Structure 1
Amino acid sequence: MPEGPSLVILREALAPFVGRRVREVGGNTTRIDPQRLLGQPLTEVRTFGKQLLLAFPATVLRVHFLLFGSHRIDDPKPTPARLHLGFGTHALDLYGCSLRYIDTDLDAAYDWSVDVMADAWDPRAARRRLRARPDMLACDALLDQDLFAGVGNIIKNEVLFRIRVHPESRVGALPPRKLGDLVREARAYSFDFLAWKRDFVLARHWCVHNRQTCPRCHVPLHFVRHLGAARRRAFFCTRCQRLYR
């Protein structure tokens, strides 16, 4: 699943499309009517968490890439796209994603303060929301898009390692300093992720995700295939990541 920083990179890649009109539509989607976009100019590209938002004068197309979605710019796959948008000499093809139209103002539809990549990100509000969920596991809290929009499984694993917190720790049991660390590093690591991905070196910087040995303790890492309510893969060190109950 693309995480928030990857969507920021896609948003930047689509910046040259702004101002161009949709000259061709296609794809096998049955959830939206692509003809609504034909002839419409793309006015803005935004992201919210893991969602791509393509704004047109009459509507906004929301794209969520789910677990296995992907996109191609000017380079379609041999297989049919979920949605094809041709902008004259350029094209965007979307695969394996969820599509829907948003016909309300985006600032009314989204709370930008929960997006870890947004200028409007509000760490104080994040701490308040976390304190209201004392029984939630730390691993689930980081993946909750109502708390940390844009954080995905890689960021979750790496943030918890950075702050030395076991993924099954209860949010309500975290000391105030650790709670602050979790909020701060959710955003900080997301921007590190963005910089590393732009330089094509992201995986080199993983400390625990898809790794076998703790770089701090030099002992085997613990791997759980389905952890927490989110049932996502977790990599962590039982020696240096403390379990708070």
Structure 2
Amino acid sequence: MPEGPSILLMKENLQKFVDKKVMESSGNAKFDKEVLKNKTLKEIRTFGKQTYLIFNEFAVRIHLLMFGSYSIDEQTKPDKNLRLSLVFKKGGIYIYNCSVKLVDLAFLAKIDWEADVMSDQWNPEKARQKLIANPKMMVCDALMNQDIFSGVGNIIKNEVLFRIGVQPESLLGNLPSGKLEELIAEARNYSFDFLKWKRDFVLKKHWLVHTKSICPKCGEKLIKKQTGLGKRRSFYCSNDQKLY
């Protein structure tokens, strides 16, 4: 599943279509695509792992889920995979194998934009209060909770926890206040590192523990385990990451 930094790159790639009029619209998304015809794309906003194509009367919500993708200017996958295409005078947007929904603008007003770790509106204090309110939650679940850290996915989770030396099954209520602050700060810091490395096509070269087998600090074998309520893959070092 693409994480927040990849969705920001998607926004950048689609930006050339802002202020352009949709000439044709098709795809197998479950809404009337005709309503998009002759409408002008006013803005593109992202929230964590979601992309919003905003028009005057409504917005198109795109969530790539596990296997979604997109292409620009040409359709690269068969019609059965095509959820939505928006054709403009010059070029087009093609969205595949994901969730595409039409939402009203009131829906956007309900989104807690301050929960997006990569947004200028990111509010670390609000995140801290949410964490404090869930003392029995594992840190691995907290980082993956989109209401707290919107945009954080499994790669960011594993790398952040290694950076701050915390075992993924640690409970939030057991973390010293300093570690809690590190958790919040590094969720954002690593997300922007991720974005930089992704732009430079070197992201995987910078993974320290995600999908790795040997700890880069002590040389011991990393533990690979499904952790938390979501049973997502965690990679961690029992020597260098403390269980709180």
Query: TM-score if structure 2 supplies the norm length?
Result: 0.96
Q: Tell me the distance in 2 between the aligned counterparts of 1:99 and 1:28.
A: 9
Structure 2: 5+ residue runs without aligned partners? none
* Structure-2 residue corresponding to 1:32: 31
* Structure-2 residue corresponding to 1:42: 41
* Structure-1 residue corresponding to 2:203: 202
Cα-Cα RMSD: 1.1
Q: Tell me the distance in 2 between the aligned counterparts of 1:201 and 1:98.
A: 28
Q: Tell me the distance in 2 between the aligned counterparts of 1:127 and 1:202.
A: 28
Aligned residue identity for 2:53 = L
Q: Tell me the distance in 2 between the aligned counterparts of 1:221 and 1:103.
A: 47
Secondary structure of the corresponding residue to residue 188 of structure 1: helix
Change (3 A) 1:107 1:79: closer
Residue pairs, 1:173-192, within 5 angstroms:
173-192=174-193
Q: Tell me the distance in 2 between the aligned counterparts of 1:154 and 1:204.
A: 13
Q: Tell me the distance in 2 between the aligned counterparts of 1:243 and 1:75.
A: 49
Residue pairs, 1:20-99, within 5 angstroms:
20-29=20-29, 31-80=30-79, 81-99=82-100
Give % identity.
50
Secondary structure of the corresponding residue to residue 117 of structure 2: coil
Aligned residue identity for 1:51 = Q
Q: Tell me the distance in 2 between the aligned counterparts of 1:100 and 1:109.
A: 16
**4+ long deviations beyond 3 Å:** none
The 8 Å contact of residues 77 and 96 in structure 2, kept in 1 or not, is answered as: no
Q: Tell me the distance in 2 between the aligned counterparts of 1:172 and 1:33.
A: 48
Aligned residue identity for 1:71 = Y
Q: Tell me the distance in 1 between the aligned counterparts of 2:39 and 2:130.
A: 39
Which one is further off, 150-159 or 82-91? 82-91
Number of residue pairs matched? 242
1:109 positional shift:
2.0
Aligned residue identity for 2:74 = D
CA deviations 1:70-117 (Å, max 9, x no partner) are 111123223221111111221111111111122134652211110001
Q: Tell me the distance in 2 between the aligned counterparts of 1:2 and 1:107.
A: 21
Q: Tell me the distance in 2 between the aligned counterparts of 1:82 and 1:19.
A: 22
Q: Tell me the distance in 2 between the aligned counterparts of 1:240 and 1:90.
A: 50
Q: Tell me the distance in 1 between the aligned counterparts of 2:195 and 2:163.
A: 17
Aligned residue identity for 1:229 = L
